[in-house]
Copies of this chain bind each other. A is one copy, B any other.
Amino acid sequence: MSAKMDWIAVDWGTSNLRVWGIAADGSVIFERRSDKGMGKLQRDQFAGVLMELLADTGQEGQPTEVLVCGMAGARQGWMEAPYLEAPTDLRDLAAGAVYPAMPDTRYRVAILPGVCQRGGNDNVMRGEETQLLGLAATYTDFAGVVCMPGTHSKWAVLDGTRIERFSTAMTGELFEVLRTQSVLRHSLQGDLDGPARAEGFEAGAMAGLKNPGQLLGRLFEIRAGSLLSDRQPDWCAGFLSGLLIGAEIGANRQLIGTAPVPLIGSPALCALYAQVLEWAGAKGESVDATTIVLAGLKAARDRTARSELI
């Protein structure tokens, strides 16, 4: 560690925790990860977990700022950071930060709020709003639809730093509960990543894109296909994944238009979404999620620093 740590960026999700030490020039000095996500912690454990992860990071001198985004700010997290309400300017995230007490006075922690949406289409996000701010800070003239694939995929309409509206598709979670808990599990045991997965994925995606409304009625074809047509687990897993992603993208087809859709998420998942977007006659562009969340935390920090809230 040659460069001096200026501040600390934290992305604290439901399942995982990532921490970065940032130098004054914005470069990452160190990165640490933990599986101690919000979902596994009691309120009084957050400070200790963070301190443990920051041990021996060379902190010295003035207290170091720690800026946190994600589920740590949920009601059942470290300290609740009340949602901003969409439509809203994401540059206001900093002004909504909350400041949990830290037993270790070498650090001063701020937790950014999430964004909610009310009025007949209730929705919430925590963590994605910081990625969206990062996207807006990186591509300063971007206006359009952003897709964040994952357990709960988010689709947001962004205009510069302003989030107009958003929705959530439970695509990733539905894949998991159907794979492990439903009658489809009988067709999804064994090697799910075999050579027939790509073929199943394309068949499923085409079905989902063609008619997203038929999702409920086509899931069972996976079970029937393994009983009647000797479909193997890899094909079935591909079909299920493709059907869900196809239905998700098909349902958002009008919103998407023709401009490229930034995709923020794991590279493997973003590649699948980009493929289905292409089949839909649209275009996806994968954006590195780590770069973007760091850009978002930095943009929020610039705001907090300017407004001298920390």
- A-side residues, CB < 8 A to B, are 75, 83, 116-118, 121-124, 152, 155, 167-171, 173-174, 177-178, 180-183, 211-217, 219-221, 223-225, 227-229, 244, 247-248, 250-252
Q: How far is the CA of A223 from the CA of B252 in the complex (A)?
A: 21
Majority-rule SS of A interface residues:
helix
Number of copies: 2
- Closest Cβ of chain B to A113, distance in Å, is 13
Closest residue on chain B to residue A183 by CB atoms: B173
**Residues on B with beta carbons closer than 8 Å to the beta carbon of A117:** 224
**Residues on B with beta carbons closer than 8 Å to the beta carbon of A152:** 183, 220
Q: Which of B123, B177, B183, B247 contacts A216 (CB 8 A)?
A: B247
Is the pair B248, A217 in contact by a Cβ cutoff of 8 Å?
yes
User: Known: A152-B220, A220-B170. Is A122-B213 also a contact (CB below 8 A)?
Assistant: no
Q: List 19 A-B contacts (CB under 8 A).
A: A116-B227, A118-B228, A122-B224, A124-B223, A124-B227, A152-B220, A168-B217, A168-B224, A169-B217, A174-B182, A174-B216, A180-B181, A211-B213, A213-B215, A214-B251, A215-B216, A215-B247, A216-B251, A217-B252
